Structure 1
Amino acid sequence: MLEEKNDNLDQHQVDADGNGTETILNATTATPDDLSELTQPEAVLIEADATTATDAIAASNAEESEDETLKERHEIPMKDYDALALEELIEELKGFVSSDKALAYKDHIEEIKKAFLAKYNHLVEEKKEEFLAENQDPTEEFEYHSPLKSQFDKLYSQFREVKNAHFKSLQTNLKNNLENRLAIVEELKELINPQANIKDTLKHFNDLRERWNNAGAIPKDKYNHVWNNYHFHVENFYDYLHLDREARDLDFKHNLELKQKIVARVEELVLEKDVNKAFRELQDLHKIWKEDIGPVSREHRDAIWNQFSDLTKKMHDKREVLFENQRAVELANLENKKAIIAQIEVLATEKVNAHSQWLGQIEKVEALRTAFFAAGKVPSEVNEETWSAFKNAVRNFNSFKNSFYKDIKKDQNDNLAKKTALVAKAKALQESTDFAATTPIMKQIQEEWKEIGHVPRKYSDKIWKEFREACNHYFEHLKEHKKEENSEEVAAFEGKKTYLESLREFQLTGDHKTDLDAIKLHIENWKGFGKVPFARRHIEGKFNKILDALFEKLSLSKKDTDMMRFANRMDQLSESNDSRKLDSEKIFIMRKIDEVQNEIFQLENNIQFFANTRNAKKENSIVLEVRKNIAIHKESLDVWKEKLKQLKNIKIEE
């Protein structure tokens, strides 16, 4: 009876044919063919370089045999994801996750994750530094939310769910497959039975080989051990069972022909220009050699394996040269990135004292950041160190910049305190009737306001509005006081009052042109009366209400009606000779133009967003509504621009 293979045998213990069984178990990188043929322990000492090459291939094949998705990962070249922007990384991730082969892209997805989180965390750090520089309130907490981060988290969660389900199923299958293969090996051990019928034994042997080929993947850490055990007992079946030698020799011959074809193909692969592609095929050939092809006769085992092993070493050497060239490129990239970091470090020490100069410095750093990300990969062992140095350089620059703006912030807060005091003073005087004493003080307050610099942006509009209203309130009272005794204005008021009563009786004829001419004549007549006292200017509002009613009945376009009303109001302002009100009106209109333009810009951006969606070819109701709003806003913009044009043509008498 053949002695069973036992992991506990002494290293130098040999079986009946002189095969070192313990040596066979340990030489996991050799093929089953040459392992069973070894007659001395030292015969397994394969040349170191060849062993390195076969070790690498054996380890890779063991891993891929466990999970076949690994094999597909090598088909897509790895990009330099560090060079991509956050938006581009999201698009790359979306493409991989949405594929039905997402697991095959695991390495790409993990590299994208690494690049995205590194850049995003760096961005958050910068935003936090800016926040701390601008906000002095210790109770206000920093918060930063990005739609890009939400997109990334959602996509990566989808991938993680697929991955977890896959590996859960994989682990169960691997365990079951391993048990099946071990059971097959045990049955192989029992085949050597002199009392058994040879035909039944051969049939059982062929059934076991068929079951073995269909048994499925097993854990990678068991791969070589289990396969070598299997081949050991298969070879022993051939070598120790001397029955049906003719069938055995035919099988040996067939296996030798297959292995010779593999050797011939590897000889071609050694000449292949695409080294990575050739090496991948070599891995597949090693797997076929080990898993699909049976043993050959003893006289050919060493020779055919040595041929295959030597060619494998040549291919491995070519691949090492390729890696050395890639490393040379990575080292050049490293020097480039070090130079970029050094430039940023210099900018973090150059002191500038003006906002415009800092804008230039910021632009330089942004250009260097872009260059850093585009510089390509560096050696993996210094990647973290290089990234850390880059982050520190940018952080130091931002801290240096923020210290400048922090000083500006202090100056602006001082200016805010000064202007707040002037607002309080103006409000205290706005109801004063001692015009002779108060007017010079109010003018002085206005001059002081002009001398004070900028305040923080979030307070600028509010404090200016308060100051302007207080000043305007006082000076309007002053004008009212000056005009109160003006007899001509009183007469104008009486005339307008009488005319207003008669105008109430005016009826439209129904003829558009006749009615429009009549309304224009009423406007001209009204203007002819002249100015009224400031305190009695309410009569202008009454006149405007009557005009509004007539315009509505006349059914003019909204634009024409609006422009006629505006022209009438501007004539009234012109008559008042109040330059401040005209300036205020001009500022108001300019702001309205800006608001409408910004609204149009936002709506057009929304249209662009919908145009980029998958359903862009078929515009939905939302898109149509947005287009309608754009048209309305553009018509409004034309009206405001026409008003500004008319306003600029008004001249105030000195």
Structure 2
Amino acid sequence: MNDNLSHKENETDGNLAQDSAESNQSETEVLETKPLAEPIDVPAEDNVVIPSAEELPAADAASESDNQTALNAIADTNAEESEDETLKDRHDIPMQDYDTLTLESLVDELKNLVSNEKVLSAKEHIEEIKKSFLAKYTHLLEEKKEEFLAENQDPNEEFQYHSPLKSNFDKYYSIFRDAKNTHFKSLQTNLKTNLENRLAIVEELKELINPQENIKDTLKHFNDLRERWKNAGPIPKDKYNHVWNNFHFHVENFYDYLHLDREARDLDFKHNLEQKQKIILRVEELVNEADVNKAFRELQDLHRIWKEDIGPVSREHRDEIWNKFSDLTKKMHDKREVLFEKLRGTEAENLEKKKEIISKIEVLATEKVNAHSQWLAQIEKVEALRTAFFSAGKVPSDVNEETWNSFKTAVRNFNTFKNAFYKDIKKDQNDNLSKKTALVAKAKELQESLDFDATTPIMKQIQEEWKQIGHVPRKYSDKIWKDFKDACNHYFEKLKEQKNEENVEEVQAFNSKKAYLETLREYQLTGDHKTDLDAIKLHIETWKGFGKVPFPRRHIEGKFNKILDALFEKLSLSKKDTEMLRFSNRMDHLSESNDTRKLDNEKIFLMRKIEEVKNEIFQLENNIQFFTNTRNAKKENSIVLEVRKNIALHKETLDVWKEKLKQIRNLKQE
């Protein structure tokens, strides 16, 4: 770095921390360069640059070599910022570990940066977001494609996947890209012109050394050139150091040519020394700054001020002050390297975490399970490991791609293993699809039927069969269920309409039965057995002729049966005849109401009662055998007679149960 650069003729603001909120007014005032009262003489032998490492003594060369890395890092950054002056106005945005964010969070971060930050301030962050987003989205796309191929056997069906997240990402990144391209296009247009203008200014400086010209005109021309230089604008960064040094070399040559007052020059040297000493004091403070990145950023600004805004110092202080500055720069660089080393250590820990996660996924890709519920548990484990992988943080850049590929391979192997299981059950799902398709066809065939008595049980049976059939392929599930549900609902809506029509008739039947019941309460038997029995049977037939009543009003049937019971009691019929008449009346009622469930229950009840009576008769007959086979039994005693009487009653009861069962069977056959 050239330490013998002339200060600017005009007053310059040399703020110690151009980007730092902590800089204060006193420091700014200290670094303001002293205005020239008159040009100063800079002898030709003072126009030197810092010697290279090869030109220094051995010890000094080693020291220079140690410092050179830090100096180069700052020089490169300042050269870049000189090319694009808008870089000086950018502010530091904390760099997040974008690999740990979800796709949704990455899009939100991109939107925030594009909407609220300058292009160059956000450029590095947006490129990191893009890298993380595309890596994760590509991985997601691969998984969706594998799932599609596992579920679809049709070779003519192409895989398609659309994500609103990707659309939003593309929208915001396009806004950023257009803004960036516009900025750099404008910049490139100006750089070439500015470079040509600055080189032309240097050429004019060379021509100023002309003894034939009036000194006042020469000085006026010189000051005009410096003003033009100041306003010439940015130039390409690869030309920056060369052009600046060339310009200052000819400025100093001009001072030397004018043979200016050495006392004035020494005063200027002293002023420049004080400014550079203040910079050194500030750098000593920066070495102890907790925020290393912020301190390093300010150090870059101080290097720019040292080079561009402050002129040379006397030869006796030149090496000493420059060495102090470069040594402090190395300390700051070393401190920054310690921070980077710590980050690299954290990245190494993250790498081990990610390797462990990958190993766990690889194990899950070999654990065979045979049930859907178990696979759901496995999938949940992999999702948790996936989240842990993305949350683990950055790994060393040289193994980042390898680690990412290992993770993708492990997840892909798990998905392949999982899909193999679901391919096996795919056949079952296709069989289920065929069964449900057949049920849909049957339901559609019956949905217009008006034979409700015959069709309703069939439709209910179809619904029961549907429940027993397992899953169908997901792509058909919603449609086939809708078709089936629509057909069933259509039929049962028609059934409901028909029942609503029947309800009018049932209400009329209830009203008729209610009125008839009042008449029947006043009925008196004539005393003639046959006449009264025929009259009761006629009442029963008349009652049946009214038809069914609404379900909530069926209590009227009980009232009718009570009146019949009273009439049967007065008829003095046999117990069997009375029982059978009552039973026949009740069964006719169940038959008319089409209550097959109650008829079936009655049939089961009768069969059970018949079996019970048979067992009791068998037991009683065994008991008779015991008494009649004794040696001393000359005649049947009272116990035997009681048992025989009991057997006869049971047989009579048995005949009644059998007759009732016969009636039910005849009803069901009808």
**Distance in 2 of aligned mates of 1:307 and 1:490:** 111
Unaligned runs of 5+ in 2: 1-42, 514-544, 551-591, 598-670
Q: Which amino acid is 1:256 matched to?
A: L
- Which one of the candidate residues 451, 472, 480 is aligned to 1:462? 480
Question: What amino acid is aligned across from residue 390 of structure 2 in structure 1?
Answer: F
Partner of 2:657: none
Determine whether 1:170 maps to 2:184.
no
CA 1:495–1:251 in structure 2 vs 1: closer, same or farther (change >3 Å)? same
Structure 2 counterparts to residues 446-485 of structure 1, below 5 A: 452-457=469-474, 458-459=476-477, 462=480
Give the distance between the partners of 1:431 and 1:264, measured in 2 at CA.
Answer: 98
Choose the corresponding residue for 1:370, options 387, 411, 415: 387
Deviation per residue, 1:531-558 (Å, 9 max, x gap) = 389xxxxxxxxxxxxxxxxxxxxxxxxx
- Residue 265 in structure 1 maps to residue 282 in structure 2: yes
Which residue of the other structure, out of 111, 130, 144, is the alignment partner of 2:161? Answer: 144
Checking the alignment, whether the CA contact within 8 Å between 1:18 and 1:39 is kept in structure 2 is no
- Whether the 8 Å contact between 1:81 and 1:112 is mirrored in structure 2 is yes
User: Matches of 1:465 and 1:576 in 2, distance apart?
Assistant: 30
1:99 aligns with 2:116: yes
What corresponds to 1:48 in structure 2?
65
Q: Is the 8 A contact 2:364 2:378 kept in 1?
A: yes
Question: How far, CA to CA, are the matches of 2:314 and 2:488 in structure 1?
Answer: 109
Partner of 1:299: 316
Q: 1:380 to 1:489 in 2, by over 3 A?
A: closer
Indicate how the Cα distance of structure 1 residues 282 and 234 shifts in structure 2: closer, same or farther if over 3 A, else same. Answer: same
Alpha-carbon separation, structure 2, partners of 1:370 and 1:146? 20
Once the two structures are superposed, residues 558-593 of structure 1 have per-residue CA deviations (whole angstroms, 9 ceiling, x without a partner) of: xxxxxxxxxxxxxxxx977599xxxxxxxxxxxxxx
Q: Name the amino acid aligned to 2:365.
A: A
Name the CA distance, whole Å, in 1 between partners of 2:448 and 2:91.
83
2:125 is equivalent to residue 108 of structure 1 = yes
- Equivalent residue letter for 2:76: A
Tell me if structure 2 keeps the 8 A contact 1:86–1:148. yes
Of 8, 14, 35, the residue aligned with 2:49 is: 35
Alignment correspondent of 2:238: 221
Indicate the SS of the match to 1:47.
Answer: helix
Cα RMSD for the two superposed structures: 4.3
List aligned pairs for 1:246-645, cutoff 5 A. Answer: 246-418=263-435, 420=437, 452-457=469-474, 458-459=476-477, 462=480, 531=548
1:344-399, CA deviations, whole angstroms, 9 ceiling, x for partnerless residues?
11111111111111111111111111111111111122222212211121111112
Question: Secondary structure of 2:116's partner?
Answer: coil
Q: Partner residue of 2:95?
A: 78
The one-character-per-residue Cα deviations of 1:127-152 (angstroms, maximum 9, x if unpaired) are 11111111111111111111111111
Are the aligned partners of 1:97 and 1:159 in contact in 2 as well (CA < 8 Å)?
Answer: yes
Q: Matched residues in 2 for 1:140 and 1:72: separation?
A: 54
Q: What is the aligned partner in structure 1 of residue 229 from structure 2?
A: 212
Judged with a 3 Å threshold, the aligned counterparts in structure 2 of structure 1 residues 529 and 200 are, in CA distance, closer, same or farther, namely farther
Judging changes above 3 Å, is the alpha-carbon distance between structure 1 residues 302 and 493 closer, same or farther for their aligned structure 2 residues? closer
Show CA shifts across 1:13-40 (max 9, x none): xxxx997xxxxxxxxxxxx975178999
Quote how far apart the aligned CAs of 1:239 are.
4.0
CA, structure 1 residues 349+298, in 2 after alignment: closer, same or farther (shift >3 Å)? Answer: same
| Per-residue Cα deviation, 1:118-172 (whole angstroms, up to 9, x for no partner) | 1112111111111111111111111111111111111111111111111111112
Spell out, residue by residue over 1:28-75, the C-alpha distance to the aligned partner (whole angstroms, 9 max, x if none): xxxx97517899955795721211111110001111111234345561
Q: Give 2:572's aligned residue.
A: none
- The match for 1:245 is 262
| Residues 376-433 of structure 1, C-alpha deviations (whole Å, 9 max, x = no match) | 1111222222122111211111121111112111111123335556777899999999
More displaced stretch, 195-204 vs 290-299: 195-204
Residue 132 of structure 1 corresponds to 149
Q: Percent identity?
A: 74
Tell me the SS of whatever aligns to 1:384. Answer: helix
- Contact between 1:34 and 1:305, CA under 8 Å: does it hold in 2? no
Report the Cα distance in structure 2 between the residues aligned to 1:439 and 1:278, rounded to whole angstroms: 85
Distance in 1 of aligned mates of 2:53 and 2:315: 12
Q: Which amino acid aligns with 1:175?
A: K
Answer yes or no: is the 8 Å Cα contact 1:412–1:456 preserved in 2: yes
Q: Which residue does the alignment assign to 1:160?
A: 177
CA distance in 2, matches of 1:48, 1:194: 44
Letter in 1 for 2:98: Y
Q: Which residue type is aligned with residue 332 of structure 2?
A: M
Q: Structure 1 273/144 Cα, relative in aligned 2: closer, same or farther at 3 Å?
A: same
TM-score (norm 1): 0.63
Contact 2:509 2:549 in 1 (8 A): no
One-letter identity of the residue aligned with 1:368: L
Measure, in 2, the Cα distance between the counterparts of 1:39 and 1:429: 100
Q: Check 1:51–1:498 CA distance in 2 against 1; reply closer, same or farther (3 A cut).
A: same
Please tell me whether the aligned partners of residues 429 and 470 of structure 2 are also in contact (alpha carbons under 8 angstroms): yes
Q: Conserved in 1, the CA contact under 8 Å of 2:440 and 2:487?
A: no
Letter of the 2:115 counterpart = S
CA gap 1:298/1:208 in 2 versus in 1, 3 angstroms: farther
CA distance in 2, matches of 1:38, 1:394: 55
The CA distance in 2 between the partners of 1:425 and 1:206, in whole Å, is: 102
Q: 1:50 to 1:497 in 2, by over 3 A?
A: same
What's the secondary structure of 1:128's corresponding residue?
helix
Distance between the aligned counterparts of 1:370 and 1:212, measured in 2?
Answer: 56
Q: CA deviation at 1:493?
A: 9.3
Could you tell me how far 1:279 is from its partner in structure 2?
A: 1.0
Rg larger for: 2
Q: In 1, are the aligned partners of 2:110 and 2:172 still within 8 Å (CA)?
A: yes
Contact 2:87 2:121 in 1 (8 A): yes
TM-score by length of 2: 0.62
Letter of the 2:283 partner, please give it: V
Alignment match of 2:201 (pick from 184, 206, 209): 184
1:429–1:361 Cα change, 3 Å: same
Name the SS of the counterpart of 1:295 in structure 2: coil
C-alpha distance in 1 between matches for 2:471 and 2:143: 25
> Does the CA contact (< 8 Å) of 2:447 and 2:487 recur in 1?
no
Runs (5+) with no aligned partner, structure 1: 1-16, 20-31, 481-487, 500-527, 534-573, 580-654
* Deviates most, 368-377 or 184-193: 184-193
Question: Deviations for 1:608-627, whole angstroms, at most 9, x for unmatched residues?
Answer: xxxxxxxxxxxxxxxxxxxx
* SS of aligned partner of 1:148: helix
**Quick check: 1:73–1:106 contact (8 Å CA) kept in 2?**
no
Q: Distance in 2 between matches of 1:471 and 1:297?
A: 102
Secondary structure of the corresponding residue to residue 163 of structure 1: helix
Which amino acid is the alignment partner of residue 355 of structure 1? H
